[in-house]
Structure 1
Amino acid sequence: MVCVAVDLMGGDTPVEDRFNAVLKFARKNPAVDLLVFVAAPFAQQLKQKAGQLPDNWVTEVCVSQIMMSESPLAALRNKQDSSLSMAIKAIQENRADAVLSAGNTGALVAFAKYWLKLMRPIERPALATVLPGQPKPTLLLDVGASLEYRAQDFYNLAELGVQMAPRLIPGLKNPEVALLNVGTEHIKGHDTIQQADHLLQQSPHNYSGFCEGSDLFNGRYDVICCDGFVGNITLKACEGLIKSIQHQNRRLGWRRWIPGFKTVNLNPAQYNGALLLGLDGLVVKSHGHSGADAFFHALQRTTNYVNTFKVAR
Structure 2
Amino acid sequence: MKLAVDGMGGDNAPQAIVQGVLLALADFPNVEIQLYGDEQKMAPFIQQHERLQVIHCTEVVEAEDDPARAVRRKKDSSMTRMLEAVAEGRADACLSAGNTGALMAGGLFKVGRIDGVARPALATTLPTMNGDGFLMLDLGANAEAKPENLLQYAIMGDIYVKKVRAQQSPRIGLLNIGTEEKKGNDLTKSAYTLLNEANFNFEGNVEARELLNGVADVVVTDGFTGNMVLKSIEGTAGTIFKMLKDSFMSSTKSKLAAVLVKNDLKQLKDKMDYTEYGGAALFGLKSPVIKAHGSSNPKAIYSAIRQARIMVEHNVCETIAETIAQMPKTE
- TM value normalised by structure 1: 0.84
Alignment check: 8 A CA contact 2:163 2:316 kept: no
Which residue of 2 is the match for residue 211 of structure 1? 206
CA distance in structure 2 between the partners assigned to 1:167 and 1:25 by the alignment: 21
3-state DSSP class of the match of 1:68? Answer: coil
The CA distance in 2 between the partners of 1:297 and 1:15, in whole Å, is 17
Question: Is the aligned partner of 1:108 residue 2:115?
Answer: no
Among 151, 164, 168, which residue is 2:164 paired with? 168
Question: Secondary structure in 2 aligned to 1:85?
Answer: helix
Distance 1:202 1:299, change over 3 A: closer
- What is the aligned partner in structure 2 of residue 309 from structure 1? 315
Q: How do 1:246-261 and structure 2 match up within 5 A?
A: 246-247=241-242, 250=245, 252=248
Cα displacement string for residues 176-224 of structure 1 (whole angstroms, at most 9, x for unaligned residues): 3221122223443333223322333444443333211133233332321
Residue by residue over 1:244-298, the C-alpha shift from the partner in whole angstroms, topping out at 9 and shown as x without a partner, is 4544565536676698655443332212312221122111110112123322332
Structure 2 letter corresponding to 1:20: Q
2: distance between equivalents of 1:274 and 1:28? 21
8 Å contact from structure 1 (residues 105, 144) kept in 2 = no
One-letter amino acid of the counterpart of residue 22, structure 2? L
CA 1:168–1:216: 2 relative to 1, 3 Å: farther
1:220 equivalent in structure 2:
215
Map 1:143-292 onto structure 2 (within 5 A).
Answer: 143-173=139-169, 175-247=170-242, 250=245, 252=248, 263-264=267-268, 265-266=270-271, 267-292=273-298
Report the alpha carbon displacement of residue 18 of structure 1 after superposing the two structures with TM. Answer: 1.9
CA contact (8 A) 1:66 1:104 kept: yes
Per the alignment, do residues 279 and 82 of structure 1 end up closer, same or farther by CA in structure 2, a change over 3 Å counting? same
- Provide structure 1 residue ranges, at least 5 long, that are not aligned to the other structure: none
Q: How does 1:61-100 map to 2 (within 5 A)?
A: 61-100=56-95
Report how far residue 31 of structure 1 moved. 4.3
Aligned length: 306
1:19 matched to which residue of 2?
18
Output the amino acid matched with 2:303: H
Q: Distance in 2 between matches of 1:24 and 1:166?
A: 27
Q: 3-state DSSP class of the match of 2:311?
A: helix
Measure the CA separation in 1 of the matches of 2:266 and 2:16. 28
1:208/1:91 Cα in 2 relative to 1: closer, same or farther (>3 Å)?
Answer: same
User: TM-score normalized by structure 2?
Assistant: 0.80
Q: Is 1:9–2:8 an aligned residue pair?
A: yes
Question: In 2 relative to 1, CA 205–271 (structure 1 residues): closer, same or farther, beyond 3 Å?
Answer: closer
Aligned to 2:303: 297
Q: 1:230 & 1:13 partners in 2: Cα distance? A: 28
Match of 1:217, SS? helix
SS in structure 2 at match of 1:36: strand
Specify whether residues 263 and 44 from structure 1 end up closer, same or farther in structure 2 by C-alpha distance, changes over 3 A only: closer
Please report the RMSD computed on the Cα atoms of aligned residues, expressed in angstroms.
Answer: 3.0
Task: Give the C-alpha shift of residue 10 in structure 1.
Answer: 1.6
The 2-side partners of 1:26 and 1:281 are apart by 21
Instruction: Supply the distance in 1 between the matched residues of 2:173 and 2:164 (Cα, whole angstroms).
Output: 17
Letter in 2 for 1:268: Y
Matched letter for residue 84 of structure 2: K
Q: Distance in 2 between matches of 1:161 and 1:287?
A: 20
